[in-house]
Amino acid sequence: MPSSKFLLFSLALLIITFSSILKFASASLEEANALLKWKESLQIPNNSLVSSWLPNNSSASAPCTSWLGVICNTDGSIHTLNLTSSGINGTLHRFPFSLLRNLMHFELNVNNFFGPIPPEIRLLSNLVYLDFSENRFSGVIPPEIGMLATLETLYLNGNNLNGSIPQKIGQLTFLYELALYNNSLEGELPPSLGNLKNLAYLYLDNNKLSGPIPQEFGQLVNLVEVYITQNSLHGPIPKEIGNLKKLTILYLFQNHLNGSIPQEIGSMVSLERLSLFSNNLSGSIPSSLGELTSLNLLHLYQNQLSGSIPIEIGNLKSLTKLAVSENNLSGSIPSSLENLSSLQYLSIRDNKLSGNIPQGLGSLDLVDLEMDTNQLSGHLPKDLCHGGNLIYLSLRGNQLTGPIPRGLRNCRSLMRAFFDDNQFTGDISKSFGVYPSLVYLDLSHNKFHGQLSENWSKCKNLTALRIAYNNISGSIPPEFGNSTQLGRLDLSSNHIVGEIPKEIGKMKSMLYLSLADNQLSGIIPNELGLLRDLIALDLSTNRLIGMIPRNISNWEHIYYLNLSNNKLTEKIPSEIGKVSQLTTLDLSHNLLFGEIPSEVQSLQNLVKLDLSHNRLSGSIPDAFEKFLSGIDITFSYNELTGPVPPYAIFANASIHVFQGNPGLCGNVTGLKLCSSQNIMKKKDPFHHKLVLVIVLPIFGAFLLGLLMCCLIAYRRQKKILPHEQPSDDEGDDFFSISSFDGRVVYDEVLKATNDFDDAYCIGTGGYGVVYKAELQPNNVVAVKKLHSSSGNVDRKGFLNEVRTLTNIRHRNIVKLYGYCAHARHSFLIYEYLEKGSVGSILSSDILAKELDWLKRIKIVKGVANALAYMHHDCSPPIIHRDISIANILLDFDYEAHISDFGTSKLLKLDSSNWTAIAGTYGYISPELAYTMVATEKCDVYSFGVVALEVMIGKHPGELITSLPTLAIDYLLLANVGDRRIPPPSSAVEKQVKLVLSLSRACLNSNPHARPTMRQVSNMLMED
């Protein structure tokens, strides 16, 4: 009997086991076949996980044992599907949602899935973890996702999802993590989010979300991290946010939040990071922030906060970064900040703070300190470099007094320091030590005294040293010559004596050297000729004697040379003609004698030439025959003789150019006429009568003919334009340069813009106002109505330029259709581009998100192509002179087009036609601001600024001066790059690095070290 029972039990167990096996095989086989059909719709690389999914009829358990990325339940159904980073390209249209009802863990992140997320997602009713991030999914988030009642983690970030966040997402009451960042979601935050009582991590940054933060947020009491940055949220921060006692990170920066920061924020006792920068917050900084004793980061900069910095901030002992810059804060810096023993970064610049800097700040272990552009006064803290880690220090533009504290003398970590525009005092030789890491130091416009120390030459990484406008005395130490890396040295406007040391000739990296306005004596050492990369040299207003060295011919790149107000003697050396890049040459107020060398004819880039107040003799040489008018030239107070030649350069010259030269004569008001110009008066009465008999009839006939011509012209004009007054435009009421009927277009433009009504205005520039005009259906143009003063500036040159530019045809240059002039209005007609300027797009957090990395690279390439064409394919070459993001327009496909040639000129290779500086502040090359002359390399520099700005999303500012010391990888980091868009993929990162590398090369302070635009364009095309 017992044996029969055992037999029955064994048989039952066998039946159950066999049944389970059949059920396992059935479930596994059905789901496997469905996944294989889905696989057929996908594009899969050979090394993908999905490549292991092969049919195996001999083993029903194959999906659970040999398919990579698949994990099964005990019943054979699929529990986990993890295809992360598999290189898959495809959609979810054929995915077997209805069969995978036991799926709990579903990961498709970091692939190339596209198309919508199907509403059938609701069928995966047992899902706990869903990650579709970093793909190309588009469309809306399906409301059906709210039916996944057991879902705990939802990652949809890094896609192209749009529409609003569905209200039904509030049904996911078990949700612990929600990541929707880096999409194009819009609309308001749904109040239903307040139902997610278990939510701990919320990431919604970098979308297009708008509206206020709902009060229901205060119900999410389990929140630990909140990121809702780089959106368009507006309205106040709700006071209910103070209920989030577990919150450690609150990032709401780069929105449009307004109102005051609620006092209730001080109740968030677990908060470690609070970042609200780049909003419109106003009011005072709440004192309750002092309750957040766990806080290590507080960023409130770029708002409209006012009042004082609350003393309670000093309670934040864990704080490492504090930034309240670019607000309207006033009052003094509270001494309680000296209690912030962990503080490493402090930025309070661009406020209205006043009073003394607390001495206790010197005990902090700061790395970066920015206090510039306030009204701070008093002495610096004694131990400002206490921890020895201070790298960046900016105090410029305050009213600080007293000596530099001793602590800074031993601050070996210092790399960049700005003390300029203050009232610092003290002996400069004792105030500073040796800084092995120092790159840039500016001490200008202070009250330092004492002598220069040889210690400056021991700062081996120093590239720029500016100590201008102080009370420095003594001589220049010969040891300065050991500073072979120094590229900029400005010691001007001090009381320095002695000779210029010949050792200075060893400073082979020198670009800008100014020793002006001192009491230097002796000769100009020949060794200065060894500075072959010199761009600007100013030795003016000293007591230098002797001759101008002949080896100045070595200065092949120099633009600016000022030796005025010295006691230089001898002749101007003929080698002056070899310094052909000069734009400014000032040799005035010396004792130079002899003739003006004919070799000056080679200085065809000159903008200013001043030879006044010397003892130059002889006649004005024929060398000036090839110079064009418009050059600022002065020969006054010399001993020149003979006639003033009738050359273009002297056509409109005033007496100030020639006065003080008794031997000069010519047809210049204030000069005596030359003997050949005096008409000998005839004394014979018959001769007088003969002259009258001949001249008077001829003169009368001439007047009669002139009167008849004027009458005919007047009637003809009245017939054409009876309602307009005559103008000076080309001697007619109407004038045009175009391929169309200017008269007709003029009338159409006035009609299309309602006589230039403000409603049609789309922009304003330095030369005029730009209007949008639809001349005919689907024929929209941009019309730049010139300011009245614009028509009076170099009229002939301007018209020649327009004629040339209308012939330019390049895909990356805005087409100029023509020019119309009339007594009432003058305007240029351009191609109209839909997207507007890059500047307007980058300034908008919403629009900037549309410019992903590939679009930005495309923009940079387009600008490079256009400039390469202008510089190398046009004859004569064209220099734009005003390249900025405001002058780069985008079409519907985000193709870049350079615009605004209102300030550009044609560069004539045999002459210079620059008479005044032009361009946009922040984009002008250093040499243009210094020498007032533009070359192609000025455009290259401006391109470098634009390329960098497009990459990082904002103007690089002082970052430009740091570029030589920064790695490309640093520029790519989030603290520099544009955080409004996700980081570039590995494939795109290579191109981004190339752009950053090229922009750094284009921003070289030495224009001759910059690449040409042809080289830049070629390198971008090769990538």
Q: Distance between alpha carbon 650 and the CA centroid of its chain, in Å?
A: 42
Mark whether 350 is an active-site residue.
no
Ordered alpha helix ranges (H), 753-844: 795-805, 838-842
Owner of token pair 């420095």: 472
| Contact (CB, 8 A) for 447 and 425 | yes
Calpha distance 1004→1011 (Å, rounded): 9
Which residues are paired to 897 by β-bridges? 889
| Contact (CB, 8 A) for 908 and 876 | yes
Calpha distance 946→939 (Å, rounded): 10
- β pairing state of 768-776 and 761-764: antiparallel
Owner of token pair 């009927």: 741
Which residues are paired to 72 by β-bridges? 78
Calpha distance 923→946 (Å, rounded): 8
Between the CA of residue 677 and those of 177, 624, 668, 754, 910, what are the distances in Å? 95, 22, 12, 57, 32
- β pairing state of 519-523 and 497-499: parallel
Starting from the edge strand earliest in sequence, which strands make up the sheet with 567-568, in order? Answer: 497-499, 519-523, 543-546, 567-568
- Burial string for 401-433 (b: 16+ CB within 10 Å, else e) reads bbbbbebbbebebbbbbbbbbbebbbebbebbb
Calpha distance 95→208 (Å, rounded): 30
Question: What tokens does 778 get?
Answer: 């689907």
| Contact (CB, 8 A) for 104 and 128 | yes
Query: Which of 372, 442, 729, 882 is the catalytic position?
Result: 882
Between the CA of residue 795 and those of 54, 729, 768, 792, what are the distances in Å? 78, 9, 16, 6
Question: What tokens does 342 get?
Answer: 């962990």
Question: What tokens does 918 get?
Answer: 């032009």
**Phi/psi at 525 (nearest 5 deg)?**
-65, 140
Per-residue HEC secondary structure of 119-161 comes to: HHHHHCCCCCEEECCCCEEEEECCHHHHHCCCCCEEECCCCEE
Calpha distance 174→151 (Å, rounded): 6
Q: Could you tell me what percentage of the chain is helix, strand and coil, using 3-state DSSP and rounding each to the nearest 5? A: 30, 20, 45
Calpha distance 560→608 (Å, rounded): 10
Owner of token pair 């050492």: 525
| Contact (CB, 8 A) for 270 and 293 | no
Calpha distance 621→358 (Å, rounded): 66
Calpha distance 961→479 (Å, rounded): 26
Collapsing DSSP to helix, strand or coil, 887 comes out as helix
| Active site positions, annotated | 882
